[in-house]
Structure 1
Amino acid sequence: MFSLPIPLKSQPEEKAGQGSFTVEGEVDEYPIMFPETTVEEFDHFVENCLYFTLTLLLSWTPPPVSVQVHVDVLKFAHKFDLREDVKNSVIFKLSEYREPHLKAVDRLNLARLYEIPSFIRPVFVSFCRITLKISDLPYIDIQKIGLPAFSVLAKVKEAINEERQMIAYHAPSVDSLPISDECNDLTHSTVCLRVWRKEWWSKIGRGILQPVPIFALDFPDDVVEAVQKLQLPGVTPACRHTFISFVASHAHALTRPSQLIDDGVQELERLLSVGAL
């Protein structure tokens, strides 16, 4: 699985008055020494190799183990530059763990320490959800994800909040849409457009800016669904249908927060690739 250079010298062993040397690993008295590796970490690595072999040969299912066991194996494989399949098998096992067994901050920390780009997106998306405030992250978690990642996260969260405020305060412009035969210029301008703007703010805008995150409207599905439920009192049925259809057909305009998240993920992946994360 891996090889170590044979040392020129090891511990001396006196035989018949002559100095001879024993290579590390030949006898129990002189084991192979792995620097900065605990006995527990090496045991976990050996167990992982055994379980992996039994799984391949006998379709055997290994017993459930703690996250720390997989982390120890990952650390060992990364430190001694073992084959990629060893590292990838551990990454696959870790990817199956969810909160609270493997927290998002710990997953991003593993991505940083052991160069795992596949861990970045799901973690960053979870950090950007509206139910998580940037101020909710304790200092120890900020240390785990690192200052570069925290900086990117803070900027993206701020940009998303600005986008939410912009959409909340400004109803989609429907002024230029064609007026139906059921309506006329006067009714359209004094009733339909006025009610549309009023209802957008009272039902949609306020829902977007809801201070309790769990009750706030999210983009884009929650907003589109809420718009479809608008009654728009006084608005002609044709105009109501036109307004709601316009929002539904332009839902992509509400996906700007998702694009901001994608940009943040790409920046973290770039930082990881150059060793700056």
Structure 2
Amino acid sequence: MSWPALFEAELVRLGVEPARARQLADETGAQAGEHAADPAQFFGPAHLYARHLVTELQAPAPAPRYAEGPVLLSLTGVTKRYRRRTVFHGVDLTVRGGEVAAIVGANGCGKSTLLRVCAGLARPDGGSVRRTRRVGYVPQDGGTADWLTPEEHFTLFGAVAGMVPRRARSTGDHLAARLAWRPARGQRAQQLSGGTRQKLNLVLGELHAPDLLLLDEPYQGFDQGTYLDFWRQVFTWRDAGRAVVVVTHLLHDLQNVDHVLDLGAHA
């Protein structure tokens, strides 16, 4: 029996609904495929990974690190439709300062759309959204201009936040260094690798020191070292009392978060 089939069978044995088990098996296989890896080597034995995933999805949220932290994002009964199709419905999520939340689910279930709703870039068709005023949003694609250098991005985004050019550039360089990146002077964004361009997106999302960071699969193109740097930065944000929401398709990321929103359950 193949690894995905063993994984699916173990999920069902552990009480996951068959349709949801098939969805998770397909999604997990796709994740390994994106990394050109054998699932057994990427995730380990199928039965152990299935038990780990079920434990993570069903475990109650740990006590907040900042029990008195303010609510920086609150979704209540949020629904989104495109024409006659319901993308998701009845989504509830509360994230306080000092907490990290992950949004997971199969491709096409609306994870990026929900994050845009959280950011105020898309309107829900039902329910309510309350968020802090200072929000940093990092899209999965786009967000940068091909013809601008990183330094010019820092200056432009800083100006929007009321930062003088020198401070914006120095802040951008400092934040880039945390991701083991030193922007080259005169190099345009279109000349950056995919992973480096995503580092630029992350720096721009944090440049104005937001209270709430919304990150849409922000580690695309990262190598393993940069991926670990990214999560260390997330922990730094959490320790500083910020709220972080991460859209992820890497299920092993769930061990790093305080809340998990499985959007597939709201289709």
- Structure with a larger share of its residues in helix: 1
TM more than 0.5 = no
Q: Which has the higher contact order (CA 8 A, sep 6+)?
A: 2
User: TM-score normalised to the size of structure 1?
Assistant: 0.28
- Structure with a larger share of its residues in strand: 2
Higher Rg of the two aligned structures: 1
